[in-house]
Structure 1
Amino acid sequence: MEAKSGFVYRRMPLIAAGIFLGLGLGGFVDGILLHQILQWHHMLSNTKPLTTPSNIDLNMIWDGLFHALDWILTVIGVALLWRAGGRDDVPWSSQTFVGSLLIGAGLFNLVEGLIDHQILGIHHVKSGPNQLAWDVGFLILGGLLVVVGWLVLQNSKGRQELGIRS
């Protein structure tokens, strides 16, 4: 929080909006790039390989449910951003917002990678030789996004405390 002329600024509404948007957009990048464009995997491709029409249909449905969740997370993020925009006590900062987006996208990779790839094993980033390396790389990318986002947030907090707009 930053106090200026008796006014207290609260960054959390903007941070929450950025994290939800980052989660949703991170899911869309995964779904669009890895599921659709590169076709490296689908939601159930490790347990229901695309070898029969019924398995193809089932994977298509689960990919659609995955995209529906991404859409819901994105809508929540937009609603939170809209609410934050209407508040005078929320400082608008590109650094705070971008840092929050990075944290959200990184959290998406970490949660999805741990649950779907490691715990449930329903799919891998890229099945076949070196699939563990691809899965670990996905987790490392997620961790790096969270760390970089956190560092950007810390930098923006320091800038706000000094009264510098970012």
Structure 2
Amino acid sequence: MMDEIFTARRKTGYAVMGSAALGFALGGFFDGILLHQILQWHHLLSGLPKAAADLRFLIMTDGMFHLAMYGVAALGLVWLWRGRTRIAEDGTGGLGLAWAMIGFGSWHVVDAVLSHWLLGIHRIRMDSEAPLFWDILWLCLFGLGPILLGIWIKRGGRGSGFRSAPLVLAAITIAAGTMQAFPPAAEGPVVVLFRSGMAEAEVMAAIEAVDGVFAGSDATGTLWAIALPDGASAASLYAHGALVVSGAGLSAGCLDYVRAS
């Protein structure tokens, strides 16, 4: 009897830890997709002047952050699998939903306290004259709000009918991770970051190699806008010195929502 009780508690623990880890990873993916890619409010190290001056380094560190979130998500899936026999039982789904919300909010609390205020490596809106306002607003909406909701669900027994909540959470997290790696293709010219040290002649040769047309570049010559022929794959630029190509997927991600103007 004691062995059965211990086994049941252990599997419940795996289900809880898996839900919390997936919620935490989903919070990181939410941050990376929305703030780094779509809104482009900051990179991981935008608050450090020396790092902010090197776009290639910023993208590399963002990629490391995304890789860490994949690791947390993978760990959560393993734990969820080990607790799979408890997921379908009454109440476990609600418990999983509660801990997923707590995990999601915890990511934003950790990010706010550690990244924004203690280390100062970035703020929610780097271009704002009142960055503290955005930090606190984001913390309340996506940090404290989900945590309090998770506690309410857990203590009040709400959500006991959500037996499939952990499985739905796993599917959402996998979808978010896939979106991180394979973002929607950009329309019009693609924006390309070439490797360090490439001369202008080498860049033009790369554009010619893919039958592209030069459409513009930034003042520093770091980013290049290239119009590709219909049906051409933007990913082919990776074979000619590109580090990141908007809309091509499998990149560090932070240029994948940049639109050439």
1:13 partnered with 2:14: yes
Question: What corresponds to 1:152 in structure 2?
Answer: 153
CA distance in 2, matches of 1:33, 1:73: 19
Q: Are the counterparts in 1 of residues 16 and 95 from structure 2 also a CA contact under 8 Å?
A: yes
Question: What corresponds to 1:74 in structure 2?
Answer: 73
Gaps of 5+ in 2: 164-261
Q: Quick one: structure 1 residues 30 and 51, their matched pair in 2 at CA, closer, same or farther if it must change by over 3 Å? A: closer
1:96 partnered with 2:85: no
Please give the TM-score of this superposition, normalised by the length of structure 1: 0.81
CA distance in 1, matches of 2:108, 2:71: 17
CA distance in 2, matches of 1:78, 1:124: 30
CA distance in 2, matches of 1:67, 1:91: 34
1:114 partnered with 2:113: yes
1:107 to partner: Cα distance:
0.4
CA distance in 1, matches of 2:116, 2:76: 26
1:48 to partner: Cα distance:
3.5
Gaps of 5+ in 1: 1-6
1:51 to partner: Cα distance:
6.5
Q: Quick one: structure 1 residues 159 and 140, their matched pair in 2 at CA, closer, same or farther if it must change by over 3 Å? A: closer
Provide Cα deviations, 1:8-29, integer angstroms capped at 9, x if missing partner.
Answer: 4533322111110011110000
1:123 to partner: Cα distance:
0.5
CA distance in 2, matches of 1:25, 1:79: 15
1:34 to partner: Cα distance:
0.3
Provide Cα deviations, 1:24-47, integer angstroms capped at 9, x if missing partner.
Answer: 110000001100111000011111
CA distance in 2, matches of 1:41, 1:60: 11
CA distance in 2, matches of 1:112, 1:159: 28
Give percent identity, aligned residues only.
Answer: 31
Q: Quick one: structure 1 residues 134 and 16, their matched pair in 2 at CA, closer, same or farther if it must change by over 3 Å? A: same
Q: Give the partner amino acid of 1:16.
A: M
Matches within 5 A, 1:110-149: 110-127=109-126, 128-141=128-141, 142-149=143-150
Q: Quick one: structure 1 residues 165 and 134, their matched pair in 2 at CA, closer, same or farther if it must change by over 3 Å? A: closer
Greater relative contact order structure (CA < 8 Å, 6+ sep): 1
**Residues matched between the structures, number:** 154
User: Alignment RMSD, CA only?
Assistant: 2.6
Bigger shift: 139-148 or 99-108? 139-148
Q: Quick one: structure 1 residues 135 and 153, their matched pair in 2 at CA, closer, same or farther if it must change by over 3 Å? A: same
Tell me which protein shows more helix as a share of its residues. 1
Q: Are the counterparts in 1 of residues 41 and 125 from structure 2 also a CA contact under 8 Å?
A: yes
1:93 to partner: Cα distance:
3.0
